Amino acid sequence: MPYIHIYGTNIVYDRWGEGPLRVLLARRAADWDGCGWPDGYEYIAIDLPGYGRSQGAEGLQDDELAEYVLGMLVMMHATEAEIYAHPNAAGVGEYLSERVGVPVQVLADCSPPD
Question: Is residue 111 in some structural domain?
Answer: no
114 assigned to some structural domain: no
Domain containing 15 — which CATH number?
A: 3.40.50.12270
Residue-wise pLDDT for 68-87, tens only, equals 999 999 999 998 999 999 99
Q: Which domain holds residue 51?
A: 3-106
pLDDT value, residue 94: 95
Pure H helices in the chain: 62-75, 90-95
Residue 78 contacts residue 6 (beta carbons within 8 Å): no
Q: Does 112 fall in a domain? A: no
Other C-beta atoms closer than 10 Å to the C-beta of 30 total 14
Flag whether 80 is in a domain: yes
For the full predicted model, state whether its pTM sits above 0.85: yes
Model confidence pLDDT, tens digit, residues 23-46: 999 999 999 999 999 999 999 999
Q: What is the pLDDT of residue 113?
A: 87
- What is the number of domains present in the chain? 1
Q: What is the mean pLDDT of residues 105-111?
A: 93
Distance CA 28, CA 89 (A): 9
Amino acid letter, 69: V
Q: Is residue 113 part of a domain?
A: no
